[in-house]
Amino acid sequence: MRRRTAVLLSGRGSNCAALIDAAADPAYPAEIALVLTNVPDAPGLARAAAAGVPTAAIDHRSFGRDRAAHERAVIAALRAAGIELVCLAGYMRVLTPLLVGAYAGRMLNIHPSLLPAFPGLHTHAAALAAGVKLHGCTVHLVTEALDAGPIVAQAAVPVLPGDTEATLAARVLVQELRLYPLALALLAGGGAGVPAAADATLCNPLPGAGGVA
Ligand code: GAR
Distance from residue 89's CA to the centre of ligand 1 (Å) = 6
The residues, any chain, with a CB within 8 Å of residue 209's CB and separated by 6 or more, are 136, 155, 156, 157, 175, 178
- Atom of ligand 1 at shortest distance to CA of 111? 4
44 lines ligand 1 (CB under 6 A): yes
Residue by residue, DSSP assigns 17-46 as HHHHHHHTSTTSSEEEEEEEESSTT-HHHH
138 lines ligand 1 (CB under 6 A): no
- Atom of ligand 1 at shortest distance to CA of 18? 18
Q: Which amino acid is at 27?
A: A
Residue pair 16/47 in contact (Cβ under 8 Å)? The answer is yes
Neighbours of 24 (CB within 10 A): 12
| pLDDT given for residue 199 in this prediction | 38
115 lines ligand 1 (CB under 6 A): no
**pLDDT tens for each residue of the chain, 213 residues long:** 999 999 999 999 999 999 999 999 999 999 999 999 999 999 999 999 999 999 999 999 999 999 999 999 999 999 999 999 999 999 999 999 999 999 999 999 999 999 999 999 999 999 999 999 999 999 999 999 999 999 999 999 999 999 999 999 999 999 999 999 999 999 999 754 444 433 334 444 444 333 333
- Atom of ligand 1 at shortest distance to CA of 11? 16
110 lines ligand 1 (CB under 6 A): yes
* 61 DSSP 8-state letter: G
Half-sphere exposure for 144 (CA within 13 Å, toward CB): 5
What φ, ψ does residue 141 adopt, rounded to 5°? -70, 145
| pLDDT given for residue 190 in this prediction | 73
Q: Please give the helix or strand (H or E) that residue 7 lies within, else none.
A: strand 3-9
Could you tell me the pTM of the whole model? 0.91
Distance from residue 2's CA to the centre of ligand 1 (Å) = 25
